[in-house]
Protein backbone atom coordinates (compact mmCIF):
# COMPACT_ATOMS: atom_id res chain seq x y z
CA UNK A 1 0.00 0.00 0.00
CA UNK A 2 1.13 3.54 -0.63
CA UNK A 3 -0.05 4.57 2.80
CA UNK A 4 2.26 4.32 5.76
CA UNK A 5 0.92 2.30 8.66
CA UNK A 6 0.96 5.44 10.82
CA UNK A 7 -1.27 7.20 8.35
CA UNK A 8 -3.69 4.27 8.09
CA UNK A 9 -3.94 4.25 11.86
CA UNK A 10 -4.55 7.97 11.78
CA UNK A 11 -7.31 7.73 9.18
CA UNK A 12 -9.05 4.89 10.98
CA UNK A 13 -8.84 6.56 14.35
CA UNK A 14 -9.82 10.08 13.28
CA UNK A 15 -13.28 11.04 14.33
CA UNK A 16 -15.15 14.30 13.93
CA UNK A 17 -14.20 16.90 16.47
CA UNK A 18 -16.84 17.59 19.09
CA UNK A 19 -17.14 21.27 20.05
CA UNK A 20 -15.16 20.69 23.28
CA UNK A 21 -12.28 19.15 21.37
CA UNK A 22 -12.41 21.53 18.46
CA UNK A 23 -8.96 22.83 17.65
CA UNK A 24 -8.42 26.38 18.83
CA UNK A 25 -7.99 27.59 15.25
CA UNK A 26 -11.56 26.75 14.11
CA UNK A 27 -13.00 29.99 15.38
CA UNK A 28 -14.12 32.23 12.56
CA UNK A 29 -17.79 33.03 13.06
CA UNK A 30 -17.26 33.76 16.75
CA UNK A 31 -16.84 37.31 17.93
CA UNK A 32 -13.36 36.95 19.37
CA UNK A 33 -10.52 34.74 18.22
CA UNK A 34 -7.26 34.19 20.03
CA UNK A 35 -4.23 35.46 18.22
CA UNK A 36 -3.33 34.98 14.59
CA UNK A 37 -4.00 31.22 14.81
CA UNK A 38 -7.63 32.04 15.43
CA UNK A 39 -7.95 33.62 11.99
CA UNK A 40 -6.90 30.45 10.18
CA UNK A 41 -9.47 28.28 8.43
CA UNK A 42 -13.28 28.28 8.28
CA UNK A 43 -13.10 30.12 4.98
CA UNK A 44 -16.28 30.74 2.98
CA UNK A 45 -17.22 28.67 -0.06
CA UNK A 46 -18.06 31.22 -2.71
CA UNK A 47 -20.32 30.66 -5.72
CA UNK A 48 -18.46 32.06 -8.72
CA UNK A 49 -21.34 33.67 -10.57
CA UNK A 50 -19.84 34.19 -14.01
CA UNK A 51 -18.56 30.62 -14.36
CA UNK A 52 -21.75 29.13 -12.91
CA UNK A 53 -24.02 31.10 -15.24
CA UNK A 54 -21.96 30.35 -18.33
CA UNK A 55 -21.77 26.59 -17.69
CA UNK A 56 -25.13 25.90 -16.02
CA UNK A 57 -23.25 24.22 -13.15
CA UNK A 58 -22.72 25.52 -9.62
CA UNK A 59 -19.00 26.33 -9.44
CA UNK A 60 -17.85 26.97 -5.89
CA UNK A 61 -14.44 28.33 -4.85
CA UNK A 62 -13.08 27.87 -1.32
CA UNK A 63 -11.77 31.33 -0.44
CA UNK A 64 -8.42 30.32 1.03
CA UNK A 65 -6.93 33.72 0.19
CA UNK A 66 -8.81 35.01 3.28
CA UNK A 67 -6.46 33.21 5.67
CA UNK A 68 -4.21 35.66 7.61
CA UNK A 69 -1.06 34.52 5.81
CA UNK A 70 -2.95 34.81 2.53
CA UNK A 71 -3.26 31.15 1.54
CA UNK A 72 -4.35 27.64 2.52
CA UNK A 73 -0.76 27.05 3.63
CA UNK A 74 -1.59 28.66 6.99
CA UNK A 75 -3.47 25.48 7.84
CA UNK A 76 -0.48 23.37 6.86
CA UNK A 77 2.13 25.51 8.61
CA UNK A 78 0.10 25.52 11.82
CA UNK A 79 -0.38 21.76 11.75
CA UNK A 80 3.28 21.04 10.97
CA UNK A 81 4.38 23.31 13.84
CA UNK A 82 1.82 21.84 16.23
CA UNK A 83 2.82 18.33 15.28
CA UNK A 84 6.51 19.14 15.94
CA UNK A 85 5.51 20.68 19.29
CA UNK A 86 3.48 17.58 20.18
CA UNK A 87 6.54 15.41 19.46
CA UNK A 88 8.68 17.69 21.65
CA UNK A 89 10.88 18.74 18.71
CA UNK A 90 9.82 22.37 19.01
CA UNK A 91 9.07 24.15 22.24
CA UNK A 92 7.23 27.47 22.07
CA UNK A 93 9.32 30.46 23.04
CA UNK A 94 12.59 28.53 23.16
CA UNK A 95 14.03 30.37 20.16
CA UNK A 96 14.17 27.36 17.86
CA UNK A 97 14.42 27.91 14.12
CA UNK A 98 12.04 26.42 11.54
CA UNK A 99 13.59 25.72 8.12
CA UNK A 100 11.54 25.23 4.98
CA UNK A 101 11.99 24.94 1.23
CA UNK A 102 9.07 26.66 -0.48
CA UNK A 103 8.02 28.67 -3.52
CA UNK A 104 6.61 31.18 -1.07
CA UNK A 105 3.16 30.53 0.37
CA UNK A 106 4.26 27.96 2.94
CA UNK A 107 7.21 30.14 3.90
CA UNK A 108 4.94 33.13 4.48
CA UNK A 109 2.60 30.99 6.60
CA UNK A 110 5.47 29.53 8.61
CA UNK A 111 7.00 32.98 9.15
CA UNK A 112 3.63 34.33 10.34
CA UNK A 113 2.98 31.54 12.82
CA UNK A 114 6.62 31.32 13.90
CA UNK A 115 6.53 35.00 14.90
CA UNK A 116 3.41 34.43 17.00
CA UNK A 117 5.00 31.48 18.82
CA UNK A 118 8.52 32.74 19.41
CA UNK A 119 10.37 30.82 16.71
CA UNK A 120 12.69 32.02 13.97
CA UNK A 121 11.97 31.14 10.33
CA UNK A 122 14.65 30.34 7.72
CA UNK A 123 13.10 30.12 4.28
CA UNK A 124 14.90 28.74 1.20
CA UNK A 125 13.25 29.65 -2.13
CA UNK A 126 14.03 29.44 -5.84
CA UNK A 127 15.01 32.90 -7.09
CA UNK A 128 12.47 33.10 -9.95
CA UNK A 129 9.31 33.71 -7.93
CA UNK A 130 7.30 36.95 -7.76
CA UNK A 131 9.29 39.61 -5.87
CA UNK A 132 6.51 40.47 -3.44
CA UNK A 133 6.81 37.06 -1.80
CA UNK A 134 10.46 37.66 -0.77
CA UNK A 135 9.60 41.17 0.39
CA UNK A 136 6.74 39.94 2.53
CA UNK A 137 8.92 37.23 4.10
CA UNK A 138 11.53 39.80 5.03
CA UNK A 139 8.91 42.07 6.57
CA UNK A 140 7.75 39.10 8.63
CA UNK A 141 11.28 38.82 10.01
CA UNK A 142 12.20 35.58 8.23
CA UNK A 143 15.71 34.84 7.04
CA UNK A 144 15.35 34.39 3.27
CA UNK A 145 17.84 32.42 1.19
CA UNK A 146 17.37 32.44 -2.59
CA UNK A 147 18.82 29.72 -4.81
CA UNK A 148 18.87 28.99 -8.53
CA UNK A 149 15.92 26.80 -9.60
CA UNK A 150 17.53 23.39 -10.17
CA UNK A 151 16.50 19.74 -10.19
CA UNK A 152 15.70 17.86 -6.97
CA UNK A 153 18.76 15.68 -7.66
CA UNK A 154 20.96 18.76 -7.09
CA UNK A 155 22.08 19.17 -3.49
CA UNK A 156 21.39 22.90 -3.64
CA UNK A 157 17.77 22.50 -4.81
CA UNK A 158 15.68 24.64 -2.43
CA UNK A 159 14.12 21.74 -0.51
CA UNK A 160 17.44 19.87 -0.19
CA UNK A 161 19.19 23.03 0.95
CA UNK A 162 16.55 23.81 3.61
CA UNK A 163 16.98 20.26 4.93
CA UNK A 164 20.77 20.63 5.03
CA UNK A 165 20.61 24.07 6.66
CA UNK A 166 18.41 22.62 9.44
CA UNK A 167 20.93 19.82 10.05
CA UNK A 168 23.87 22.22 10.08
CA UNK A 169 22.02 24.47 12.52
CA UNK A 170 20.95 21.61 14.76
CA UNK A 171 24.11 21.40 16.84
CA UNK A 172 24.75 21.92 20.53
CA UNK A 173 21.83 23.59 22.25
CA UNK A 174 20.25 25.06 19.14
CA UNK A 175 17.18 23.42 17.62
CA UNK A 176 16.67 23.56 13.85
CA UNK A 177 13.52 21.92 12.56
CA UNK A 178 13.02 21.08 8.87
CA UNK A 179 9.25 21.35 8.29
CA UNK A 180 9.37 19.37 5.00
CA UNK A 181 5.93 20.14 3.53
CA UNK A 182 6.43 17.81 0.56
CA UNK A 183 6.92 14.69 2.69
CA UNK A 184 5.46 15.64 6.08
CA UNK A 185 2.07 13.99 6.62
CA UNK A 186 1.00 16.87 8.89
CA UNK A 187 0.44 18.71 5.57
CA UNK A 188 -2.08 16.16 4.34
CA UNK A 189 -3.64 15.95 7.83
CA UNK A 190 -4.28 19.71 7.95
CA UNK A 191 -6.63 19.40 4.97
CA UNK A 192 -8.04 16.06 6.09
CA UNK A 193 -9.03 17.50 9.47
CA UNK A 194 -10.05 21.07 8.55
CA UNK A 195 -10.54 21.95 4.86
CA UNK A 196 -12.24 18.63 4.02
CA UNK A 197 -14.80 18.71 6.88
CA UNK A 198 -15.50 22.39 6.17
CA UNK A 199 -16.31 21.69 2.50
CA UNK A 200 -18.47 18.74 3.52
CA UNK A 201 -20.46 20.87 5.96
CA UNK A 202 -20.74 23.82 3.59
CA UNK A 203 -22.19 21.67 0.79
CA UNK A 204 -23.93 19.03 2.96
CA UNK A 205 -22.03 16.57 0.79
CA UNK A 206 -23.77 17.68 -2.42
CA UNK A 207 -20.71 17.80 -4.66
CA UNK A 208 -20.17 16.06 -7.99
CA UNK A 209 -16.60 17.08 -8.67
CA UNK A 210 -13.54 18.43 -6.90
CA UNK A 211 -11.03 20.16 -9.17
CA UNK A 212 -7.59 21.35 -8.08
CA UNK A 213 -3.91 21.57 -8.85
CA UNK A 214 -1.11 20.11 -6.77
CA UNK A 215 2.24 21.37 -5.56
CA UNK A 216 3.07 19.20 -2.58
CA UNK A 217 -0.25 17.41 -3.19
CA UNK A 218 -1.30 17.85 0.45
CA UNK A 219 -4.50 19.70 -0.41
CA UNK A 220 -5.51 17.26 -3.13
CA UNK A 221 -4.83 14.16 -1.02
CA UNK A 222 -6.30 15.51 2.21
CA UNK A 223 -9.53 16.61 0.52
CA UNK A 224 -9.80 13.50 -1.63
CA UNK A 225 -9.23 11.08 1.23
CA UNK A 226 -11.75 12.92 3.40
CA UNK A 227 -14.49 13.59 0.85
CA UNK A 228 -14.46 10.62 -1.50
CA UNK A 229 -15.50 7.94 1.03
CA UNK A 230 -18.32 10.21 2.21
CA UNK A 231 -19.73 11.27 -1.18
CA UNK A 232 -20.51 8.34 -3.49
CA UNK A 233 -20.73 10.24 -6.79
CA UNK A 234 -17.69 12.49 -6.21
CA UNK A 235 -15.12 12.61 -9.00
CA UNK A 236 -11.66 14.09 -8.46
CA UNK A 237 -9.90 16.03 -11.23
CA UNK A 238 -6.31 17.28 -11.22
CA UNK A 239 -5.64 20.68 -12.83
CA UNK A 240 -2.07 20.77 -14.08
CA UNK A 241 -0.02 23.58 -15.68
CA UNK A 242 2.18 22.90 -18.70
CA UNK A 243 5.51 21.27 -18.01
CA UNK A 244 4.31 19.48 -14.87
CA UNK A 245 4.57 15.70 -14.81
CA UNK A 246 1.50 15.08 -12.63
CA UNK A 247 -0.93 15.08 -15.57
CA UNK A 248 1.02 12.23 -17.15
CA UNK A 249 1.21 10.44 -13.82
CA UNK A 250 -2.58 10.48 -13.46
CA UNK A 251 -3.31 9.68 -17.12
CA UNK A 252 -0.53 7.24 -17.99
CA UNK A 253 1.20 6.40 -14.70
CA UNK A 254 4.46 7.92 -15.87
CA UNK A 255 5.86 11.37 -15.17
CA UNK A 256 7.32 11.79 -18.66
CA UNK A 257 5.16 10.80 -21.60
CA UNK A 258 7.24 10.16 -24.74
CA UNK A 259 4.33 11.41 -26.84
CA UNK A 260 3.82 14.66 -25.03
CA UNK A 261 6.37 17.29 -25.82
CA UNK A 262 5.74 19.80 -23.07
CA UNK A 263 6.06 17.19 -20.36
CA UNK A 264 9.56 16.33 -21.48
CA UNK A 265 10.84 19.77 -22.39
CA UNK A 266 12.46 20.50 -19.07
CA UNK A 267 12.60 17.29 -17.17
CA UNK A 268 13.07 18.78 -13.74
CA UNK A 269 11.52 22.21 -13.95
CA UNK A 270 7.97 23.26 -14.52
CA UNK A 271 8.00 25.79 -17.32
CA UNK A 272 5.08 28.08 -16.58
CA UNK A 273 4.23 31.50 -15.16
CA UNK A 274 1.99 29.70 -12.66
CA UNK A 275 3.42 29.53 -9.13
CA UNK A 276 2.62 26.97 -6.45
CA UNK A 277 1.31 24.06 -8.53
CA UNK A 278 2.90 21.65 -10.99
CA UNK A 279 5.86 19.45 -10.16
CA UNK A 280 7.99 16.78 -11.81
CA UNK A 281 8.39 14.28 -9.02
CA UNK A 282 6.14 12.15 -6.90
CA UNK A 283 5.91 13.52 -3.37
CA UNK A 284 4.62 11.57 -0.39
CA UNK A 285 1.76 14.03 0.06
CA UNK A 286 0.59 13.57 -3.55
CA UNK A 287 0.96 9.81 -3.25
CA UNK A 288 -1.48 9.67 -0.33
CA UNK A 289 -4.36 10.56 -2.66
CA UNK A 290 -3.12 9.63 -6.13
CA UNK A 291 -5.07 6.36 -6.46
CA UNK A 292 -8.36 8.24 -5.95
CA UNK A 293 -7.84 10.85 -8.70
CA UNK A 294 -10.22 10.14 -11.61
CA UNK A 295 -8.81 12.30 -14.39
CA UNK A 296 -6.53 15.24 -15.16
CA UNK A 297 -6.68 18.39 -17.29
CA UNK A 298 -3.87 20.45 -18.72
CA UNK A 299 -4.12 24.23 -18.47
CA UNK A 300 -1.97 26.60 -20.52
CA UNK A 301 -0.53 29.90 -19.28
CA UNK A 302 -2.63 31.83 -21.81
CA UNK A 303 -5.80 30.20 -20.49
CA UNK A 304 -4.91 30.84 -16.85
CA UNK A 305 -3.94 34.48 -17.40
CA UNK A 306 -7.03 35.28 -19.49
CA UNK A 307 -9.25 33.49 -16.94
CA UNK A 308 -7.82 35.71 -14.17
CA UNK A 309 -8.65 38.83 -16.20
CA UNK A 310 -12.14 37.47 -16.93
CA UNK A 311 -12.84 36.87 -13.21
CA UNK A 312 -11.91 40.46 -12.37
CA UNK A 313 -14.05 41.81 -15.22
CA UNK A 314 -17.09 39.70 -14.38
CA UNK A 315 -16.92 39.01 -10.64
CA UNK A 316 -14.46 41.50 -9.11
CA UNK A 317 -12.41 38.48 -8.08
CA UNK A 318 -8.64 39.16 -8.04
CA UNK A 319 -6.85 35.82 -7.87
CA UNK A 320 -3.38 34.34 -8.05
CA UNK A 321 -2.15 32.01 -10.76
CA UNK A 322 -2.93 28.60 -9.25
CA UNK A 323 -6.52 29.70 -8.53
CA UNK A 324 -6.87 30.74 -12.18
CA UNK A 325 -5.63 27.32 -13.32
CA UNK A 326 -8.18 25.69 -11.02
CA UNK A 327 -10.98 27.82 -12.50
CA UNK A 328 -10.03 26.92 -16.09
CA UNK A 329 -10.08 23.22 -15.22
CA UNK A 330 -13.37 23.64 -13.31
CA UNK A 331 -14.96 25.01 -16.50
CA UNK A 332 -13.61 22.04 -18.50
CA UNK A 333 -15.09 19.65 -15.93
CA UNK A 334 -18.43 21.54 -16.02
CA UNK A 335 -18.55 21.10 -19.79
CA UNK A 336 -17.68 17.43 -19.51
CA UNK A 337 -20.30 16.70 -16.83
CA UNK A 338 -23.01 18.95 -18.30
CA UNK A 339 -25.34 21.47 -16.62
CA UNK A 340 -26.73 20.96 -13.14
CA UNK A 341 -23.61 19.63 -11.41
CA UNK A 342 -21.87 21.04 -8.34
CA UNK A 343 -18.14 21.59 -8.75
CA UNK A 344 -15.80 22.67 -5.95
CA UNK A 345 -12.38 24.20 -6.47
CA UNK A 346 -9.81 26.10 -4.40
CA UNK A 347 -9.00 29.81 -4.56
CA UNK A 348 -5.55 29.48 -3.05
CA UNK A 349 -4.27 33.03 -2.96
CA UNK A 350 -4.94 36.56 -4.18
CA UNK A 351 -3.47 38.38 -7.16
CA UNK A 352 -1.68 40.76 -4.79
CA UNK A 353 1.05 38.18 -4.34
CA UNK A 354 1.58 38.01 -8.12
CA UNK A 355 1.65 41.67 -9.23
CA UNK A 356 5.14 41.53 -10.71
CA UNK A 357 4.72 38.26 -12.68
CA UNK A 358 1.31 36.73 -13.39
CA UNK A 359 -0.38 40.14 -13.13
CA UNK A 360 2.34 42.11 -14.93
CA UNK A 361 1.52 42.74 -18.60
CA UNK A 362 5.18 43.61 -19.24
CA UNK A 363 6.40 40.35 -17.79
CA UNK A 364 3.85 38.34 -19.76
CA UNK A 365 4.65 40.11 -23.03
CA UNK A 366 8.38 39.43 -22.54
CA UNK A 367 7.54 35.75 -22.11
CA UNK A 368 5.09 35.53 -25.01
CA UNK A 369 2.04 34.90 -22.84
CA UNK A 370 -1.34 36.38 -23.82
CA UNK A 371 -3.00 38.71 -21.33
CA UNK A 372 -5.43 40.66 -23.52
CA UNK A 373 -9.15 40.14 -23.01
CA UNK A 374 -11.48 42.10 -25.26
CA UNK A 375 -14.68 43.53 -23.74
CA UNK A 376 -16.77 41.27 -26.00
CA UNK A 377 -14.84 38.09 -25.29
CA UNK A 378 -16.80 35.43 -23.39
CA UNK A 379 -15.81 32.35 -21.42
CA UNK A 380 -16.00 30.29 -24.65
CA UNK A 381 -13.19 32.42 -26.09
CA UNK A 382 -10.94 31.62 -23.14
CA UNK A 383 -11.54 27.93 -22.38
N1 LIG B 1 -1.55 27.35 -4.77
C2 LIG B 1 -0.55 28.04 -4.21
C3 LIG B 1 -0.52 29.53 -4.38
C4 LIG B 1 0.45 27.36 -3.53
O5 LIG B 1 1.48 28.04 -3.00
C6 LIG B 1 0.38 25.97 -3.38
C7 LIG B 1 1.41 25.21 -2.62
N8 LIG B 1 2.70 25.24 -3.12
C9 LIG B 1 -0.68 25.28 -4.00
C10 LIG B 1 -1.64 26.01 -4.67
C11 LIG B 1 -0.78 23.79 -3.98
O12 LIG B 1 -1.07 23.21 -2.74
P13 LIG B 1 -0.45 21.83 -2.31
O14 LIG B 1 0.99 22.06 -1.93
O15 LIG B 1 -1.27 21.39 -1.16
O16 LIG B 1 -0.55 20.87 -3.45
Closest C-alpha residue for ligand 1 atom 4? 276
Which ligand 1 atom minimizes the distance to the CA of 217? Answer: 16
Quick: pLDDT tens for 152-204: 889 999 999 999 999 999 887 889 999 999 999 999 999 999 999 999 999 99
Residue 238 · residue 248 · CB < 8 Å: no
pLDDT given at position 5: 56
Does any ligand 1 atom lie closer than 6 A to the CB of residue 348?
Answer: yes
Distance 265 CA to ligand 1 centre (A): 23
Which ligand 1 atom minimizes the distance to the CA of 214? Answer: 16
Distance 20 CA to ligand 1 centre (A): 31
Distance 29 CA to ligand 1 centre (A): 25
Does any ligand 1 atom lie closer than 6 A to the CB of residue 246?
Answer: no
pLDDT given at position 71: 98
Looking at 73, 133, 228, 249, which residue is catalytic?
A: 73
Does any ligand 1 atom lie closer than 6 A to the CB of residue 320?
Answer: yes
Q: How far is CA 196 from CA 57, 135, 234, in A?
A: 21, 32, 13
**∠ Cα 73 276 64 (to 5°):** 40
Does any ligand 1 atom lie closer than 6 A to the CB of residue 218?
Answer: yes
Neighbours of 381 (CB within 10 A): 11
Q: What pTM, to 2 d.p., does this model score?
A: 0.90
Which ligand 1 atom minimizes the distance to the CA of 105? Answer: 5
- Least Cα distance to 212 among 59, 100, 341 occurs for 59
pLDDT given at position 262: 45
Does any ligand 1 atom lie closer than 6 A to the CB of residue 319?
Answer: no
Distance 336 CA to ligand 1 centre (A): 25
Neighbours of 254 (CB within 10 A): 11
Distance 93 CA to ligand 1 centre (A): 29
pLDDT given at position 327: 98
Q: How far is CA 175 from the centre of its chain?
A: 28
Which ligand 1 atom minimizes the distance to the CA of 71? Answer: 3
Which ligand 1 atom minimizes the distance to the CA of 76? Answer: 15
Does any ligand 1 atom lie closer than 6 A to the CB of residue 221?
Answer: no
- Least Cα distance to 64 among 213, 271, 283 occurs for 213
Does any ligand 1 atom lie closer than 6 A to the CB of residue 105?
Answer: yes
The ipTM is 0.98
Closest C-alpha residue for ligand 1 atom 5? 276
CA pair distance 360, 38, nearest whole angstrom? 34
Does any ligand 1 atom lie closer than 6 A to the CB of residue 163?
Answer: no
What is the SS3 assignment for the chain?
CCCCHHHHHHHHHCCCCCHHHCCCCCCECECCCCCHHHHCCCCCEEECHHHHHHHCCEEEEEEHHHCCCCCCHHHHHHHHHHHHHHCCCCCCCCCCEEEEECCCHHHHHHHHHHHHHCCEEEEEEECCCCHHHHHHHHHCCCEEEEECCCCCCCCCCHHHHHHHHHHHHCCCCCCEEECCCCCCHHHHHHHHHHHHHHHHHHHCCCCCEEEECCCCCHHHHHHHHHHHHHCCCCEEEEEEECCCCHHHHHHHCCCCCCCCHHHHHCCCCCCCCCCCCCCCCCCHHHHHHHCCCCEEEEECHHHHHHHHHHHHHHHCCCECHHHHHHHHHHHHHHHHHCCCCEEEEEECCEHHHHCCCCCCHHHHHHCCCCCCCCCCCCHHHHC
pLDDT given at position 271: 76
Does any ligand 1 atom lie closer than 6 A to the CB of residue 351?
Answer: no
Does any ligand 1 atom lie closer than 6 A to the CB of residue 214?
Answer: yes
Which ligand 1 atom minimizes the distance to the CA of 215? Answer: 16
Low-confidence residues in the chain, pLDDT < 70? 1-31, 257-270
Establish whether 15 is a catalytic residue. no
Amino acid sequence: SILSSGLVYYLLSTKQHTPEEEPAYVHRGQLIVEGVDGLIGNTPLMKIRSLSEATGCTILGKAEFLNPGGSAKDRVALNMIRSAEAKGILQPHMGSTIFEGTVGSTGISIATIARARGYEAWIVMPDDQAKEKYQLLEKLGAHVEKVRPVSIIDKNQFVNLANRRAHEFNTGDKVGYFADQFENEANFEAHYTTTGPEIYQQTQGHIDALVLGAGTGGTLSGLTRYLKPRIAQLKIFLADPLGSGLYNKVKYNTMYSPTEKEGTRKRHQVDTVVEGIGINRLTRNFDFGRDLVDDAYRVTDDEAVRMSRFLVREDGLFLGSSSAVNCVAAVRVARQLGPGHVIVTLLNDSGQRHLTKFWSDDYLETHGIRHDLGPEESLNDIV
